[in-house]
Amino acid sequence: MKHSMKTLILAGAAFGASASLALADGEVNIYSYRQPELIQPLLDAFTKETGITTNVLFLDKGLVERIRAEGANSPADVILTVDIQRLTEAKDGGVVQPVVDNATINKDIPAAYRDPAGDWFGLTTRGRVVYASKDRVKQDAITYEELADPKWKGKICIRDGQHSYNIALFASMIAHHGADYTEKWMTGLKNNLARKPDGNDRSQAKSIMAGECDLALGNTYYVGLMMTNDKEPEQKDWAKAIKVLFPNAGDRGTHVNISGMALAKNAPNKANALKLMEFLASGEAQKIYAEQVFEYPVMPGAEPSEIVKSFGSIKPDTLPLVDIAKNRKTASELVDKVGFNEGPAM
């Protein structure tokens, strides 16, 4: 949080310096839900190739509300988001505009990862997988449905049920099974928790290493980030304690979500914004995403990194992400209805 706040303050100061900044030549202003360290390698490569300077405002919530409040004078050129829910919120919030028939983007990004109206497109995918203790979990296959089996009572850790990563998974369960089934399933999952939902995805791996739980839900790319974290080497130990299980590999496939981007409604540097969008959709950027951020590229033929390949093969659930997004409100309501964030009944 300390790092995020510092980024926010610095970026806010830069954006607030003068109205002319947004209109300056050779710049593009990025409003980002993505953590700065995840996008910096890409932005550095973009600036090196084009000479265009990138200004980043990082927010972990309230991005759409901020752009609306700024109105026609908003300096935002592009919006970078962490999942389909945030992309949908930006579109529904009226703060984006379509990238009309951009040939470069349409060539590089498959239609399955583009909004039919052209209001957003996906850049990468990640699996919402199960982290399992290498020492205490013998099985190498699992389903999401199985997480509600009483055999896992007191054995599962998870972050806040209302976090967008979990809401997307819960929404996919609704799409596959209906709300009634999902409510019962979420109740079973809640009863199997070792503690109240808490922390982030990485800290779930830490809890497994500490013996607090045997299973956890987390995104694939965090495992790669932990494995290569020289600044906080204790995270390498967290990663060594777990193995990645791809749920439902034997049937419908593992739930995947996307990182994506959209063109801001009143983009003052629209030409530069489109250059950035084309770059992030390109093969060069897809390779950086794969090698340095440990996500799955969406460009056909682009390979994941060797580290990601070491987790095993992923069979993505082919359920359209827009169908998942339609169920996010119901999923959020179910989290509250079953008291998910209260943790297991004692």
Tens digits of residue pLDDT in 118-173: 999 999 999 999 999 999 999 999 999 999 999 999 999 999 999 989 999 999 99
Domain count, the chain: 2
- Residue 295: which region, alpha, beta or left (left: phi > 0; alpha: psi -120 to 50)? beta
pLDDT in tens, 5-26: 333 433 443 454 334 444 445 9
Does 60 share its domain with 198? Answer: no
Does 134 share its domain with 152? Answer: yes
Does 15 share its domain with 101? Answer: yes
How many CA atoms lie within 13 Å of 2's alpha carbon, on the beta-carbon side? 0
- Assign residue 59 the CATH number of its domain: 3.40.190.10
pTM above 0.75, yes or no: yes
Does 165 share its domain with 151? Answer: yes
pLDDT in tens, 278-334: 999 998 999 998 998 899 998 888 889 999 999 999 999 988 888 888 999 999 999
Contact 36, 56 (CB under 8 A): yes
> Which residue range(s) make up the domain with 59?
2-124+258-302
Does 103 share its domain with 243? Answer: no
Phi, psi at residue 293, to the nearest 5°?
-110, -10
